[in-house]
Structure 1
Amino acid sequence: MELWVIATIAAAAVQTVRFMLQKRLKGIGLSTGGATFSRFLFAVPLACLGVAVLVGLNGYSIPPLGLRFWAFAVAGGIGQIIATFCTVALFSERSFAVGIAFTKTETVQVALFSAVFLAEAVSGLGVVAILIGLAGVLLLSRPPQGWIAGKILNRATVLGLLAGAFFGISAIGYRGATLEIANDDPLFRAMLALACVTAFQSVAMALWLRWREAGEVTRVLGAWRATLPVGVTGVLGSLGWFTAFALQNAAYVRSVGQVELIFSLLVSMLVFGERPKRREVAGMGLLAVSIIMIVVLAA
């Protein structure tokens, strides 16, 4: 099995654990912004330590990081902040497994954006795949009171679609950032890009919280026993994603990463005791089939 596949599967597994921990943070009084901030704050020193270790062991020097690198890194960092914020907020709307599944509309949205904005032809099978994905999203987003009494574009649907779109932006940004680092070692490129991105994200989130949620940064620091594991799992998961992005096309990486759907469903049942409805399981299945079809067609 190739290294990028192993790194992707490991990243998906660790990310599932991180989302589980972040869901619990909302139960100790942290806001959605605070729970999101905790994912980046403690990752910075760990990522910087990783860079220092690789430099010391291999004798690397830090290469110059140009404007293109920072453009990719900042775009990816902002995309991940918004996507994580939407995902954490989504946990208050639906079950854990369904919340994660909504973020997997990423590949479907990329196909639609390509057709609309890039004028790239979509084959007949591509249209079928998109429609299957749409059916899955509709099943997942059905409000408890039904379609007649509720709104199709409910809060859960919007949050899930936004999370998927911005996770797609972050994947493209991180892939581009790792390719801009002049070093042949994919692990070093991944770790250096990760350190730069998490540092930017921590500063950006701290400024945002200070402006919008006074005192939330202090609450995150005060709850360090609960937030530290989020940072540790965050940096480990991100290292897996960044390593995979350094080795392979982001589309292939994200397609293999759909295994997270299975992980999240297991966590939902075994940890939180949640029992997904058959309609929700069917929706996740349709969405997975759609994603796989689109990736195969695009290969």
Structure 2
Amino acid sequence: MLTIASLWIPFTIVAALGQVARNAMQRSLTKPLGTWGATNIRFLFGFPFSVLFLALAVLLTGDRVPWPAAAFWPWLVTGALSQIVATGLMLLAMNDRSFVVTTAYLKTEAIQTAIFGFIFLGDHLTWLKVLAIVIATVGVVITALRPGGEKSFAELRPTVLGLGAAAVFAISAVSFRGAIIAVPSVSFVTAASYTLMWSLLVQTLILSVYLLLRAPDVLRSILRLWRPSMLAGFTGAFASQFWFLAFALTAAANVRTLALIEVLFAQAVAYYSFKQPIAPREVFGIVLIVIGVALLIAA
């Protein structure tokens, strides 16, 4: 039977599934809106749903929502800004190098999250959990690689950009957890919902002002495409809600490691929906992911 402390496991699985759906919806809007326009959709149209999630949390728990404490803001702003910066670094890396190699770099996020979580939040990780994180990460990198792609790792610029993006994504995850645990005297559900609402508001303001100054036509296009954007915004807010619920209950490194099962979902879709065969190398990588995730949950 699941205890409250172990609810982070189903929360993370739901979040990973929601993220796959959100990415698919954002991808369909990238052509008419551009990369940053499609990115802003998850914030701009996700924000109203985050307000709704917070209202439901308060209604169900009876919590009184406090004004943000001073310690809350540095964590929140760092998380919101670093998530945007990490997205930019990721896009630059993908422009310099293949999507596959960049993805392999990005999946080092779990290891870097463990390091930053220990340094900044004192998150305790046993040796078994560290081993699980390393095994699962290696499995994802092996699965992501393609024959002949290994030589791409020798080039300095894409390596720095890819690993840098993973590092900033890791800082974002740790910062959001720091913001959540800085919300005083409320349940973990309200703390997570509260942090999500403020995060999406800050990110909406930053990216909307940027687009207003640099590409006002994109903002007008976003408003014209409000119906598909609303669905993408809801899916993004839904996934983020469950990420934040998981961050409220356990170290960010645990969440980001279990999130690597997203690779398994993608492989399943590729095999069953598109009839794409799975190479022996991919099978080996998947086995390592499963072993790593199993060790993490057992730990």
TM-score range, shorter chain: 0.7 to 0.9
1:20 is aligned to 2:24? yes
**Number of equivalent positions:** 289
In the TM superposition, 1:216-227 aligns within 5 A as 216-227=218-229
Q: Distance in 2 between matches of 1:52 and 1:131?
A: 40
2:236 aligned with 1:234, yes or no?
yes
**Post-superposition shift, 1:146?**
5.1
> Does 2:99 align with 1:94?
yes
Structure 2 distance, partners of 1:154, 1:140, is 19
Q: Distance in 2 between matches of 1:133 and 1:36?
A: 26
Q: Residue 141 of structure 1 contacts residue 157 of structure 1 at CA under 8 Å; is this kept in 2?
A: no
**1:187 aligned residue:** 189
Instruction: Find the aligned partners of 2:112 and 2:53 in 1 and give their Cα distance.
Output: 34
Structure 1 window deviating more from structure 2 (74-83 vs 280-289): it is 280-289
- Per-residue CA deviation, residues 196-232 of structure 1 (Å, 9 max, x unaligned), is 0000000011122233434222222222232222211
**2:242 maps to 1:206:** no
Residue 71 of structure 1 pairs with residue 74 of structure 2: yes
Q: The residue matched to 1:11 in structure 2 has which SS?
A: helix
Q: Deviations over 1:126-171 (max 9, x none)?
A: 79x86995796488456x76556x5633887555434422221111
Confirm or deny: 8 A CA contact 1:39 1:230 kept in the other structure: yes
**49-58 vs 65-74, which moves further:** 49-58
Q: Do the aligned residues in 1 keep the contact of 2:106 with 2:166 (CA within 8 Å)?
A: yes
SS in structure 2 of the partner of residue 199 of structure 1: helix
Q: Which amino acid aligns with 2:174?
A: I
Aligned counterpart, 1:45 = 48
Q: Percent of pairs identical after alignment?
A: 33
- Give the unaligned 5+ runs of structure 2: none
After TM superposition, the structure 1 stretch with the greater mean CA deviation from structure 2, 85-94 or 168-177, is 85-94
Name the Cα RMSD after superposition: 4.1
- Give the secondary structure class of the aligned counterpart of 1:61: coil
Distance 1:101 1:24, change over 3 A: farther
Report the AA paired with residue 94 of structure 1.
Answer: F
Structure 1 residue aligned with 2:63: 60
Are 1:141 and 1:156, in contact at CA under 8 Å, matched by a contact in 2? Answer: no
Q: Give how far 1:283 is off.
A: 5.4
Distance 1:135 1:110 in 2: 17
Structure 1's unaligned 5+ residue stretches are: none
Q: What is the rounded CA distance, in whole Å, between the counterparts of 1:112 and 1:182 in structure 2?
A: 26
Aligned residues of 1:94 and 1:156 also touching (Cα < 8 A): no
Equivalent position of 1:35 in the other structure: 38
CA separation of 1:105 and 1:151: change in aligned 2, threshold 3 A: closer
| Paired AA for residue 60 in structure 1 | D
Q: 1:87 to 1:229 in 2, by over 3 A?
A: farther
The answer as to whether partners of 1:43 and 1:232 remain within 8 angstroms in 2 is: yes
> Which range moved further: 276-285 or 61-70?
276-285
1:215 alignment partner, SS class: helix
Equivalences for residues 107-118 of structure 1 within 5 A:
107-110=110-113
Q: CA deviation at 1:77?
A: 1.1
AA of the residue aligned to 2:219: V
